Amino acid sequence: MTMKMATKKTRRKAPELLLLSGLAGAGKSTALNILEDLGYFAVDNLPGALLPRFLDLIGKRGALGDATKLALVMDARDRDFAKNFENHFLTLSKRRIPHRIVFFDARDDVLMRRFSETRRRHPLAPFERASVGIRKERNLLAAVRAAADHVIDTTFDDLRELRSKIISLVRNRLSKTGEGRLAVTLLSFGYRHGLPLEADLVLDLRSLPNPHFVPRLRPLSGKNPRVARYVLGQAETKKLLRLIRALMKLLVERSVEEGKSYLNIAFGCTGGRHRSVAIAEAISRDLNRWGYPVKVVHRDVNREA
């Protein structure tokens, strides 16, 4: 009797490819470093012409050290990638390699500030102002942004917050529909210091009683419990808060349905220290209770002593 010994072959885990793109200064390289720390095989600025060859290596055992988690940065530094993105996208689809496209974005003024702080030249405008390069880059990458599975806006993000977003991304907690991933930013500001350009909606709170005219409260901010009690305890404030909560509920639900990834709501008072701060803090507690991640930014709270 002949016994046949079956050789058990280990099945290789299917590769996972993240293609990172977006604007210079929006955090792609930082995100790539984070992914590398998380065990991804990371490649920065892969030329579009080399994408098919790189995909060939994915299918060859040992070619990439048996890596199954891959992250590529491809952007407008390579004009071929920007001009031929649709062909590259079709290549990925035809190879049937599971992939997601992640686009990094930020407000123009924030990108210009980052270039100024680091004293770097914009790759698309090395001898011109950064604003010129940003405008060129947005036009070149418009199709990439439209096709992206995830758009990560880093306007308000520090390293810790960006890392949190990347970890959420690789754990599949970010979905195309936006369900469960809407990030809400509440911004308090003072009208005397100018309107916030990044706001999707601005609510004017200057009609509410002002703690600035209460001597014992004037030196404090809206984060102080005594100021918060004063602002939130007013009859006018209670009526307005009921309306604001109903509006917030509607806005976040509609934003999720539309697939938005972030929503910026601004609350303004005269100086940005008392009423707007207290209301923003109160609404943030409501949003947290409803299950939405909230970031609160008090732009002008320290402008006046």
Query: 55-64, 89-98, 246-255: which has the minimum mean pLDDT?
Result: 55-64
Residue 241: which residues within 8 A CB-CB, separation 6 or more?
232, 279, 282
Position 230 pLDDT exceeds 80: yes
Q: Following DSSP, what letter does each residue of 135-175 receive, concatenated?
A: HHHHHHTHHHHHH-SEEEE-TT--HHHHHHHHHHHHTT---
Position 300, amino acid: D
Please tell me the distance from the alpha carbon of residue 250 to that of residue 81, in angstroms, as a whole number: 40
Please tell me the distance from the alpha carbon of residue 235 to that of residue 270, in angstroms, as a whole number: 20
Q: What is the pLDDT of residue 123?
A: 87
Q: What is the pLDDT of residue 228?
A: 96
157-195: per-residue pLDDT in tens? 888 888 888 887 887 544 433 334 577 899 999 999 988
Helix (H) / strand (E) containing 196: none
pTM across the whole model: 0.57
φ, ψ of residue 89 in degrees (nearest 5): -65, -40
Domains of the chain (ranges, CATH numbers): 16-170 (3.40.50.300), 183-298 (no CATH)
Q: What is the pLDDT of residue 178?
A: 37
Residues of the chain with pLDDT > 70: what percent?
87
Q: What is the pLDDT of residue 260?
A: 66
Q: What is the pLDDT of residue 201?
A: 92
32-49: per-residue pLDDT in tens? 998 888 888 889 988 888
pLDDT band at 56 (very low <50, low <70, confident <90, very high): confident
Please tell me the distance from the alpha carbon of residue 56 to that of residue 95, in angstroms, as a whole number: 9
91, 52 in Cβ contact below 8 A? yes
Q: What is the pLDDT of residue 259?
A: 57
Residue scoring higher pLDDT (164 or 114): 114
Q: What is the pLDDT of residue 127?
A: 85
Q: What is the pLDDT of residue 134?
A: 92
